[in-house]
């Protein structure tokens, strides 16, 4: 297997990666055949997976515009993935020229490509970090030099929490991040769930099995379990809802049925 010039030498290109599979679903080019193979296998059971990923990206863009509308111009995007069109800094700066963003991911391809895209961008930083280790993220020089944690920040956890198993206590990690943010900060969460998927749970379970097989378990949580991530926050209207129902730009009934898989919500820190 030939290693592309953009692939860091440190990565094993024979193992699939969640962020590169996501990149493939979104039509990106920073993925390998092993990623495409896993994606196609998952899509055998849920052919609408790319629609779910597109709905996540669209929700992220709406939430970023909402944050800027609330006067928040600082963003901490954890699990940011491989850059594609309409990234956080691009969306935010359309509304506010001085928006500042820190992108965090643990996939070396996502980090390397993000650094290449953002080279020379004074208002953005890229950090190799893991949501399961919030202290390392918060204490990093990238966060320290780019964001002012004494002022409100929008914390983006888009399509990432469902890759953190309960054994790693994602609730504690999210609470630690919350405690470091100023009052008035926002949290943006999207999360996979069996609720809303337009196929039987057993069929969707086969897709979950594909992620388990590649050692990136996909943790499907209920709406109540997802709501727990918002402890310490007041929910922004319309609350925790399927993605097309969160402050839509277009009529939800026009959306693909797969777009309603899982939940999205935005909370404001008290």
Which tens digits make up the pLDDT trace of 58-83?
A: 999 999 999 999 999 999 999 999 98
Instruction: Assess if CATH 1.10.3720.10 describes domain 18-269.
Output: no
State the Cα–Cα distance between residues 202 and 212, nearest whole angstrom.
Answer: 15
**What's CA 163's distance to the chain center, in Å?**
10
Q: Please state the pTM of the whole predicted model.
A: 0.95
Across the beta sheet with 74-78, what order do the strands follow? 124-128, 100-105, 74-78, 154-158, 186-191, 263-269, 233-235
Would you place residue 6 in the very low, low, confident or very high pLDDT band (cuts 50, 70, 90)? confident
Residue in 82, 113, 59 with CA at minimum distance from that of residue 238: 59
> pLDDT, tens digit, for every residue of 86-132?
899 999 999 999 999 999 999 988 998 899 889 999 999 999 999 99
Mean pLDDT of the chain: 95
**Residue 40: predicted pLDDT:** 98
Residue 188, pLDDT above cutoff 80: yes
Would you place residue 1 in the very low, low, confident or very high pLDDT band (cuts 50, 70, 90)? low
State the Cα–Cα distance between residues 256 and 134, nearest whole angstrom.
Answer: 35
Residue 258, pLDDT above cutoff 90: yes
Could you tell me the residue ranges of all domains in the chain? 18-269
CA atoms within 13 A on the CB side of 240: 23
The length of the chain is 270
């Amino acid at each position: 297997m030939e290693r592309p010039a953009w692939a860091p030498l440190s990565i094993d290109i024979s193992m699939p990666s969640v962020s590169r599979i996501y990149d493939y679903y979104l039509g990106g080019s920073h993925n390998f055949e092993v990623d495409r193979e896993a994606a196609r296998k998952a899509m055998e059971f849920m052919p609408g997976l790319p629609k779910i990923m597109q709905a996540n990206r669209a929700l992220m863009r709406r939430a970023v515009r909402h944050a800027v509308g609330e006067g928040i111009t600082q963003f901490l995007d954890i699990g940011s993935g491989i850059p594609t069109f309409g990234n956080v800094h691009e969306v935010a700066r359309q509304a506010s020229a001085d928006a500042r963003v820190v992108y965090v991911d643990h996939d070396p391809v996502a980090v390397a490509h993000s650094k290449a895209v953002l080279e020379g961008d004074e208002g953005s930083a890229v950090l190799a970090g893991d949501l399961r280790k919030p202290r390392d993220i918060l204490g990093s020089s990238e966060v320290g030099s780019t964001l002012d944690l004494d002022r409100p920040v929008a914390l983006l956890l888009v399509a990432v929490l469902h890759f953190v198993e309960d054994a790693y206590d994602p609730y504690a990690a999210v609470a630690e991040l919350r405690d470091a943010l100023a009052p008035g900060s926002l949290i943006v969460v999207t999360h996979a769930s069996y609720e809303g998927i337009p196929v039987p749970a057993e069929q969707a379970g086969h897709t979950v099995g594909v992620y388990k097989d590649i050692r990136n378990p996909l943790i499907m949580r209920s709406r109540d379990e997802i709501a727990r991530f918002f402890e310490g926050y007041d929910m922004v209207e319309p609350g925790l809802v399927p993605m097309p129902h969160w402050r839509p730009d277009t009529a939800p009934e026009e959306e693909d049925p797969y777009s309603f898989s899982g939940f999205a919500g935005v909370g404001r820190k008290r």
